[in-house]
């Protein structure tokens, strides 16, 4: 039973980890500080030391130095916080076997202990091999040189294999080391997938094992010692152009678990000693190979999951409401039917319109989007229908409208509920005939277009109060799509946040790895009056302010961190921010320096926001924009 010394100044952590480690079969020694730990190290001589990196008095780095000075063969694992990566790297430079971050997970602890065990086993093997070498050195100088080369290869694998990030890098490295000991014609790696019923494809290597069935793969997975393959065994492992070579199969084994195989093809006999040595050498890489394979499989699963929940580009959601909308898009996109998209601001109505267009037969034709609320009546007619030269003051040339520019494709009319009744009549005629006249023109223009409209209003209520024509409403409402607000599908927030974070990393260079659980909790608790658009803005805000590898709660906008009056309705993102800024200014007696400091923003940013919302020193003006 190996001895393990646990040094941590928190009694609760010591007790919990100590119990877990004893259950794993270790003889656990506990120390509450570095001084007590070094006393136990001297008397008990543990195999492994597990120490917190930040403690009063003697910290983990100092303990690591003392351990390596006193007993270099003892393996040291340091426990760090998420913000202690520089200390963690320094510990590795001082020959710590690994580091794990708080809170300590069972999986991370198991991996770190396995790595320490592997280092201990490697040292034991090296000591054993060195002892044997000393007996042979007087007999054969050539054997000594070969053994020295082998030790160097062990050291190189031991020191550098964990730096490799791709399967090809790892295999290139270890096969290069194999070539230093065996004169082979060809080497073929066979790396098992997670289920061990087949092999993963490795860039740069022929997929020789791809013809093997599950039975053959599992048979190879049971081989834990090197074997010589006969001609009748595994015909699929024969390589074209190699005339009946000797085939030696060397498994990559990690704690009895076969990760894969290295098949060596050679015309020359290979000594059992060389085979055994290569077996021990390549097994040093087995853990790294397994880690990369599992990581690659998890990454593929994640990509598949995102692809499954984002069937239409930027439209992302696993909520059943979104899945129903995806199905509806798939049904209506190939047709020419008019679609009415309804939903609150920021829910992604234009994304729906674009998805319909891009999955239609018109996808290679123009997609023209118009926000109807952005134009007064006189300009709206010109924007949509175009105008002739001289049609009005300033019309110095003919201008094509959006309907003409969208010919053959799709026109998207956003905020359709904002158009005045006098123009609704003209729009209805275009919908029915797909004909119109330019402003100031007499010629009837015929177009072939798909019309998709959107609104954040309830058009049925607008019809009831006489603000929207009933006949136009029925002409638009052939296929209605109602987008749910984000607050009703909060399970999509992690997926959307991850998508926006990935976009930011791609556009600005990889910077932020993820979002902490506390920050995600705040995102999940918030009611999102600005819907998906507000969430995207929030993630961008946090991305810019994040100093480390993860978005934390401190990076989120202040109104998410400090909360709002829950009893009040919030109509928009801007109303939300206005209310919060006003409350913070009142709380700090309008001291802008203190408010900016509390909100973790610059004073220039605060002044810009005050100007945006017309907030003056005496309070909020009557005109809030």
Which runs of consecutive H residues, i.e. helices, occur in 203-285? 214-221, 272-283
What is d(CA 489, CA 319) in angstroms, rounded to the nearest whole number? Answer: 6
Please give the biggest Cα pair distance in the chain: 109
The per-residue pLDDT for 209 is 55
CB 10 within 8 A of CB 49: no
pLDDT digits (tens, 9 = 90+) for 93-127: 898 889 998 888 888 899 999 999 999 998 888 88
| DSSP codes of every residue in 309-329 | H-SBTTB---SHHHHHHHHHH
Collapsed DSSP state (helix, strand, coil) of residue 251: strand
The candidate with the shortest Cα–Cα distance to 281, out of 242, 257, 301, 252, is 252
Residue 141 has pLDDT above 60, yes or no: no
What is d(CA 2, CA 4) in angstroms, rounded to the nearest whole number? Answer: 6
Q: Which of 271-280, 566-575, 599-608 has the lowest mean pLDDT?
A: 566-575
The most confident of 150-164, 535-549, 602-616, by mean pLDDT? 535-549
Residue 103, preceding peptide bond in cis (omega within 30° of 0):
yes
CB 340 within 8 A of CB 386: no
- Residue 153: pLDDT band with limits 50, 70, 90: low
Q: What is the DSSP letter of 98?
A: E
- Residue 405: pLDDT band with limits 50, 70, 90: very high
CB 115 within 8 A of CB 161: no
pLDDT digits (tens, 9 = 90+) for 458-502: 999 999 999 999 999 999 999 999 999 999 998 899 889 988 888
- Across the range 413-422, mean pLDDT stands at 91
The per-residue pLDDT for 620 is 40
What is d(CA 340, CA 509) in angstroms, rounded to the nearest whole number? Answer: 39
The candidate with the shortest Cα–Cα distance to 8, out of 81, 71, 75, 98, is 81
The per-residue pLDDT for 565 is 42
The per-residue pLDDT for 460 is 92
Strand blocks (E) in 127-256:
186-191, 227-229, 246-254
- Residue 619: phi and psi, rounded to 5, are 135, -165
Q: Which domains can be identified in the chain, with CATH numbers?
A: 3-121 (3.40.50.2300), 140-296 (3.30.450.40), 320-484 (3.40.50.300), 566-625 (1.10.10.60)
The per-residue pLDDT for 563 is 63
What is d(CA 384, CA 379) in angstroms, rounded to the nearest whole number? Answer: 9
Cross-strand pairs, 122: none
Residue 622 has pLDDT above 50, yes or no: no
The per-residue pLDDT for 267 is 76
At a CB cut-off of 8 Å and minimum separation 6, what does 89 contact?
none
Q: Which of 140-149, 539-548, 581-590 has the lowest mean pLDDT?
A: 140-149
What is d(CA 4, CA 20) in angstroms, rounded to the nearest whole number? Answer: 12
- Average pLDDT along the chain: 82
The per-residue pLDDT for 216 is 75
- Residue 568: pLDDT band with limits 50, 70, 90: very low
The per-residue pLDDT for 319 is 85
Relative to beta strand 479-482, strand 27-31 is unpaired
- Residue 183: pLDDT band with limits 50, 70, 90: confident
CB 212 within 8 A of CB 234: yes
Relative to beta strand 615-616, strand 619-620 is antiparallel
The per-residue pLDDT for 441 is 86
Collapsed DSSP state (helix, strand, coil) of residue 391: coil
pLDDT digits (tens, 9 = 90+) for 578-609: 777 877 887 777 888 888 877 777 787 888 88
CB 155 within 8 A of CB 187: no
Relative to beta strand 48-52, strand 27-31 is unpaired
- Residue 544: phi and psi, rounded to 5, are -65, -40
- Across the range 17-46, mean pLDDT stands at 92
Relative to beta strand 257-266, strand 367-371 is unpaired
What is d(CA 94, CA 76) in angstroms, rounded to the nearest whole number? Answer: 10
CB 356 within 8 A of CB 524: no
pLDDT digits (tens, 9 = 90+) for 511-531: 677 888 889 999 998 889 889
The candidate with the shortest Cα–Cα distance to 415, out of 473, 370, 469, is 370
The candidate with the shortest Cα–Cα distance to 291, out of 161, 100, 121, is 161
CB 212 within 8 A of CB 198: yes
Residue 402 has pLDDT above 90, yes or no: yes
CA end-to-end span of the chain, whole Å?
73
pLDDT digits (tens, 9 = 90+) for 57-90: 899 999 999 999 998 999 999 998 766 788 888 8
- Across the range 305-317, mean pLDDT stands at 67
The candidate with the shortest Cα–Cα distance to 129, out of 111, 157, 149, 109, is 149
């Amino acid at each position: 039973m190996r001895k393990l010394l646990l040094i941590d100044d928190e009694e609760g952590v010591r007790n919990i980890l100590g119990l877990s480690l004893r259950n794993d079969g270790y003889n656990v020694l506990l120390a509450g500080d570095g001084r007590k730990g070094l006393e136990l190290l001297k008397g008990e001589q543990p195999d492994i030391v597990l120490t917190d990196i930040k403690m009063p008095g003697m910290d983990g780095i100092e303990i690591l130095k003392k351990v390596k000075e006193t007993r270099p063969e003892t393996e040291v694992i340091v426990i760090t916080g998420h913000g202690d990566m520089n200390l963690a790297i320094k510990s590795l430079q001082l020959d710590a076997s690994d580091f794990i971050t708080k809170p300590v997970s069972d999986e991370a602890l198991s991996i770190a202990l396995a790595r320490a065990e592997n280092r201990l086993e490697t040292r034991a093997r090296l000591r054993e091999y060195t002892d044997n070498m000393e007996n042979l050195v007087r007999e054969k100088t050539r054997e000594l040189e070969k053994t020295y080369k082998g030790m160097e290869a062990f050291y190189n694998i031991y020191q550098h294999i964990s730096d490799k990030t791709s399967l090809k890098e790892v295999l290139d490295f270890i096969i290069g080391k194999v070539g230093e000991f065996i004169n082979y014609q060809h080497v073929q790696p066979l790396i098992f997938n997670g289920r061990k019923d087949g092999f993963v494809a490795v860039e740069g290597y022929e997929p020789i094992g791809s013809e093997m069935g599950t039975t053959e793969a599992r048979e190879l997975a049971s081989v834990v010692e090197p074997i010589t393959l006969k001609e009748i065994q595994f015909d699929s492992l024969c390589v074209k152009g190699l005339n009946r070579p000797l085939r030696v199969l060397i498994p990559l084994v990690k704690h009895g678990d076969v990760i894969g195989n290295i098949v060596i093809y050679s015309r020359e006999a290979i000594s059992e000693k060389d085979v055994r040595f290569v077996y021990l050498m390549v097994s040093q890489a087995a853990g790294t190979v397994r880690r990369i394979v599992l990581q690659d499989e998890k990454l593929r699963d994640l990509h598949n999951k995102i692809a499954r929940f984002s069937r239409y580009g930027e439209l992302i959601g696993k909520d059943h409401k979104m899945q129903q909308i995806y199905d509806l898009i798939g049904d209506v996109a190939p047709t020419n039917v008019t679609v009415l998209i309804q939903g609150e601001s920021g829910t992604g109505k234009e994304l729906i319109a674009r998805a319909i267009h891009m999955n239609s037969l018109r996808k290679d034709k123009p997609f023209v989007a118009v926000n109807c609320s952005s134009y007064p009546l006189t300009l709206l007619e010109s924007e949509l229908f175009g105008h002739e030269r001289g049609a009005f003051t300033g019309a110095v040339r003919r201008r094509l409208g959006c309907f003409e520019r969208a010919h053959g494709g799709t026109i998207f009319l956003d905020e359709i509920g904002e158009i005045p009744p006098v123009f609704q009549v003209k729009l209805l005629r275009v919908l029915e005939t797909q004909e119109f006249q330019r402003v100031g023109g007499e010629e009837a223009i015929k177009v072939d277009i798909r019309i998709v409209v959107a609104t954040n209003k309830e058009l049925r209520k607008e019809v009831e109060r006489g603000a929207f024509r009933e006949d136009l409403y029925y002409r638009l409402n052939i296929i209605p799509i109602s987008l749910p607000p984000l607050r009703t599908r909060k399970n999509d927030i992690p997926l959307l946040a991850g998508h926006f974070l990935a976009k930011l990393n791609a556009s600005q260079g990889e910077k932020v790895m993820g979002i902490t659980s506390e920050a995600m909790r705040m995102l999940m608790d918030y009611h999102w009056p600005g819907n998906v658009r507000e969430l995207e803005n929030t993630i961008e805000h946090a991305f810019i302010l994040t100093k480390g590898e993860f978005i934390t709660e401190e990076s989120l906008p202040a109104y998410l961190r400090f909360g709002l009056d829950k009893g009040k309705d919030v109509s928009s993102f801007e109303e939300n921010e206005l209310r919060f800024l006003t409350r913070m200014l009142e709380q700090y007696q309008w001291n802008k320096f203190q408010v900016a400091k509390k909100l973790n923003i610059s004073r220039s940013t605060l002044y810009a926001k005050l100007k945006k919302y017309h907030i003056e020193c005496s309070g909020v003006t009557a005109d809030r924009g």
